[in-house]
Amino acid sequence: MDRRIAVVGWGSLIWDPRELPLASSWHPDGPQLPVEFARVSDDGRLTLVLRDGVADAQTLWALMSSGALDEAREQLARRERTVPDLIGSLEKGGPPEGPVASWLAQRQLDAVVWTGLPSNFEERTGEPLGVDVAVRYLEQVSDDTRLAAERYVRRAPPQVRTAIRRGLERRLGWTTAYAQRRPAP
C-alpha cells in the first residue's frame, strides 16, 4: 500500500526541485525548524541548513510522488547530491518528540523526509557563525560567488526568516525576490 510521504524544504529545493518527483505544489505550513544560512556550498554560496542553537523558521512541504519511505529518501538524496544517511525521515507514530513529529501528527500524512546536510561554516571560514562574519565572508569571495550567493538568498522563501538573512538584507540590501514584486496596477 502506498503511503503519503511529504518532503520538507526551506531553500533551493523549493524553487529548483530538479528531478525530485513531487505530487503537489509547495505548501507554506511546514514545521518550524532551526534553519540558518550556515553551510558553505561547494561553489562558495551560503546555503540554508538545519542548525542547533538558532531560532526556528517557517518551512514548506510538498507531497512526494513515491509512497515508499526508502525510495523517497533515496530520491531526495539524489537531488541533494548526498547520501541517504544525510536525509532525515520520520514515520507517523514514530518517536513523539520534536517539531517534525508534532507537525506530522497534525497532518493526513504517513511519513516525512528532509535534508540533513550539516553546517560547515566554522570549518570553511575558521570563524564562528554570525551576521558580521557572514557579511565579511561574502565581501571577500569572488564576484561570481557573491552573485550566486545573492541569488540564493533572494530566492529563499520569504517566510524562512533567519538572523543572518535579516543581517544580509540590512547590510547588503539582499531582500527577498518575492518582496520586490509589485502588484499589477
**Residue 117 cell numbers, joined:** 546536510
Model confidence at 183: pLDDT above 50: no
pLDDT in tens, 70-82: 999 999 999 999 9
Domain count across the chain: 1
Give me the domain span that covers residue 156.
Answer: 5-176
Residue 140 in domain: yes
pLDDT in tens, 145-182: 999 999 999 999 999 999 999 999 999 999 987 543 33
Beta strands 5-9 and 111-115, pairing class:
parallel
Residue 185 in domain: no
Contact 12, 47 (CB under 8 A): yes
Give the span between the Cα atoms of 79 and 154, in whole angstroms.
21
Q: ∠ CA(49), CA(53), CA(54), 5° rounding?
A: 60
Residue 183 in domain: no
Q: Tell me the pTM.
A: 0.91
pLDDT in tens, 137-147: 999 999 999 99
